[in-house]
Copies of this chain bind each other. A is one copy, B any other.
Amino acid sequence: MRTELCDRFGIDYPIFVFTPSEKVAAAVTRAGGLGVLGCVRFNAADDLERVLQWMDENTDGKPYGVDIVMPAKVPTEGTSVDIDKLIPQGHRDFVAKTLADLGVPPLPEDEARSEGVLGWLHSVARSHVEVAVKHPIKLIANALGSPPKDVIDQVHAAGVPVAALAGSAKHARRHADNGVDIVIAQGHEAGGHTGEIASMVLVPEVVDAVGDTPVLAAGGIGSGRQVAAALALGAQGVWMGSAFLTAAEYDLGERLPSGRSVIQEAMLAATSSDTVRRRIYTGKPARLLKSRWTDAWDADGAPEPLPMPLQNILVSEAHQRMSESADPTAVAMPVGQIVGRMNEIRPVADIIAELVTGFEDATTRLDGIRG
């Protein structure tokens, strides 16, 4: 399974995997794909620096990338204390009452409280770029579209191509015009921030809209058949995320006696019908695992979610509390509809191997149909 992107990036397969786990990212890279480490969880640049040093030592000199979250429109800036003041008390009360109703235990007294994901503040995302370009990264992707022009220039000056997610052909064209090198067409079925147009329609529209700019297909991809479908639609590769949240190497989050995190337990149990697209995680529409937490925000009397970045700061301690509890029915986690196919914990190398053989089987079957 080789496209032009394999030569361009020095990878065996055009499989790009976004993951918050450096263990998974490194394993993807070692298995012949391109592991892309999500930076948004690093509020402190030093933490990212340490993890990228680890990546350098554990990728056998093979290529990897990083993913930042930089909104096109600059959001509210300031320290977390300043931003805290912008959150209405009614919202805080709703969160407290909901956690009590759901039976989510408080954090231990001595545990540090998460201050929320600050990675979508421009200042923090810029610090991620500063750190990353000093490492031998081969790609910087922005999960929220084109980064500002000076950031694109900075990344290009370091010899690194820029990728940007797009949920419509119009956005994709804008990214290409802005100098983005690779467009990721992210369909409605994808996890996290996602638009309304499904991959089957979106991918060929984006391919046709951006001319020579290569397109990765994202959303709904978890098997070799789906890789074949994505490439049939004209993509030069796939961008995956959800399917690697149940990789054996994924070690973020507290472990339950089963050896899995509470979020992994929830994902293993979910069907493709068990996701919702809501603004409650970040302030922008993102597909999440359906849970008693998302149900509470859908109920009568629940407040409207706040804009980015306030919403995530509002719910950050709630996320921390739920991820440290043992109840898989009350979790907050971005994941795509492909969660219905995530039914076992598998090593990254096995997932990649199935993508490759499944692609070969599907395309061989298509040859028989073409005759």
Taking Cβ atoms with an 8 Å cutoff, the residues of A that contact B are 1-3, 168-170, 187-189, 196-202, 204-205, 219-221, 223, 225-226, 228-234, 271-273, 336-338, 340-341, 359-360, 362-367, 369-371
Please state if A367 and B371 are interface contacts (CB–CB under 8 Å).
Answer: no
Query: Given that A168-B273, A367-B363, A370-B360 are contacting pairs, would A198 and B196 also be in contact in the complex, using a CB cutoff of 8 Å?
Result: no
Q: Kindly list 5 other residue pairs between chains A and B, CB separation below 8 angstroms, not including A198-B219, A200-B219, A367-B367.
A: A198-B337, A225-B234, A231-B366, A232-B232, A363-B366
Can you list 28 contacts pairing A with B, beta carbon distance less than 8 Å?
A1-B370, A2-B371, A168-B271, A168-B273, A169-B340, A187-B198, A187-B200, A189-B197, A189-B201, A197-B273, A198-B199, A198-B219, A199-B200, A200-B200, A200-B219, A200-B230, A201-B272, A201-B336, A201-B341, A205-B340, A228-B233, A229-B229, A229-B230, A231-B365, A232-B363, A232-B366, A233-B362, A364-B370
Please state if A220 and B198 are interface contacts (CB–CB under 8 Å).
Answer: yes
Identify the interface centre among A233, A234, A340, A364: most chain B CB within 10 Å of its CB.
A233
Provide the bound-state CA to CA distance between A1 and B370, in Å.
5
In the complex, chain B residues whose CB is within 8 Å of the CB of A168: 271-273
Shortest CB distance A78–B (Å): 33
Choose among B220, B234, B367 the residue that contacts A200 (Cβ–Cβ < 8 A): B220
Shortest CB distance A227–B (Å): 9
Please state if B198 and A231 are interface contacts (CB–CB under 8 Å).
Answer: no
Provide the bound-state CA to CA distance between A194 and B143, in Å.
29
Provide the bound-state CA to CA distance between A234 and B367, in Å.
13
Which residue on chain B has the smallest CB distance to residue A196? B273
Please state if B187 and A204 are interface contacts (CB–CB under 8 Å).
Answer: no
In the complex, chain B residues whose CB is within 8 Å of the CB of A234: 225, 362
Provide the bound-state CA to CA distance between A370 and B363, in Å.
8
Please state if A200 and B189 are interface contacts (CB–CB under 8 Å).
Answer: yes
How many of these chains are in the complex? Answer: 2
Please state if A341 and B205 are interface contacts (CB–CB under 8 Å).
Answer: yes
Please state if A204 and B232 are interface contacts (CB–CB under 8 Å).
Answer: no
Provide the bound-state CA to CA distance between A56 and B198, in Å.
38
Provide the bound-state CA to CA distance between A198 and B271, in Å.
13
Choose among B170, B340, B359, B371 the residue that contacts A201 (Cβ–Cβ < 8 A): B340
Choose among B2, B189, B228 the residue that contacts A232 (Cβ–Cβ < 8 A): B228
Shortest CB distance A284–B (Å): 16
In the complex, chain B residues whose CB is within 8 Å of the CB of A232: 225, 228-229, 232, 362-363, 365-366
In the complex, chain B residues whose CB is within 8 Å of the CB of A204: 223, 225-226, 341
Please state if A359 and B370 are interface contacts (CB–CB under 8 Å).
Answer: yes
Provide the bound-state CA to CA distance between A228 and B225, in Å.
11
List the 9 shortest-distance A-B pairs measured between CB atoms, nearest first: A200-B220, A229-B229, A189-B198, A198-B198, A228-B232, A201-B337, A229-B232, A363-B366, A201-B220
